[in-house]
Copies of this chain bind each other. A is one copy, B any other.
Amino acid sequence: MKKKYAVGIDIGGTTAKFGIVDRKGNILVQDRVPSNEHEVVEDFIDDMYAKLFPMIEEYGGTGNFVGIGMGAPNGNFYTGTIDYAPNLKWKGIIPIANLVEKKFGMVTKLTNDANAAAVGEMMYGCTKNIKHFITITLGTGVGSGIVIDGKIVLGHDGFAGELGHTIIRHGGRPHKTSALKGSLEAYASATGVRETAIEMLTEHPEVESLLRNYTINELTSETVYDCAMQGDTIANRIFEFTGQILGESLANFVMFSSPEAIILFGGLTKAGNLLLNPTRKHMEVNLLPIFQNKVKILFSELKEADAAILGASALVWDVKK
């Protein structure tokens, strides 16, 4: 009998969300536990088990499941370990896939959250028929998952696909946590948009802007978007600049793996064409002619609230094409 369900677990800095997913990408039931309250990871797993295992039994027990897929920061597919995740409480190398597999008695696979998003897109989203693509998650930071020939690119050690940390402006804006200067993430993230806003407002005090009505804490990518939609010059320039940086980076990525499509995902994509138009323009002008007018830039079709659980669950389906 074909197994019907998969478990998806998304471990974030404060919360772990988990749910039961069918082959079509419907989340049938979901719940969450805190992920920042347990000194040792075994206690966290016990708490999760107490809520998740009854859900599994409700759906026919482990025999009905292909397994458990997990996404976590610095999650390594090859080793099943979370390695030195800066935003998690458990330090060092945590063999979480093994621990979960033993506790639940189910096949368990792990990868980082950005790779999970790419696998989810391939299983349930807009790349069902695309074998070469890159997903870029534009959230607080910039995550990425690279798919070549229908397979996620993991690299020799499982850590491939850190495109948010590639340098796009030599000597540029310092990153808040890495020591790197001028990385994509320093610009094309919610945090980056806020910084660009502060920079532009400070550097051009003579230009009127609706953004000047907000306190510094209220200056977010959302307020910049609201002002841009009202025709505010600086707010529009901020998205133009963000799209330029993103587009230049995408051009470099295209010349690496020549994907058919790039899928954008995450909070910043709410800006729609305000972001997409300059992104596309600056990607195209920085490509060699053989790559021009070929690469689709798409917004993800997955609901943001569901995507993390879906992506994680997709790890255990056979997604080969």
Contacts and interface: CB of A to CB of B under 8 A. Distances in A.
Contact of A156 (B131, B146, B285, B290): B131
Contacts of A289: 84
A214 interface: no
Contacts of A149: 151
A170 interface: yes
B180 A288 contact: yes
Given A131-B156, A155-B132, A288 B162 contact: yes
A88 to B, nearest CB: 14
Copies held by the complex = 2
Interface in A135-185: 146, 148-149, 151, 153-163, 165-170, 178-180
Interface residues of A, number: 47
A309 to B, nearest CB: 25
A155 B130 CA distance: 11
Contact of A166 (B130, B158, B179, B252): B252
Given A156-B132, A162-B288, A259-B156, A167 B83 contact: no
Given A154-B258, A166-B251, A167-B168, 7 more contacts: A84-B289, A132-B155, A162-B256, A163-B256, A179-B285, A180-B288, A253-B256
Interface of A: 74, 83-84, 130-132, 146, 148-149, 151, 153-163, 165-170, 178-180, 248, 251-253, 255-260, 285-286, 288-291, 294
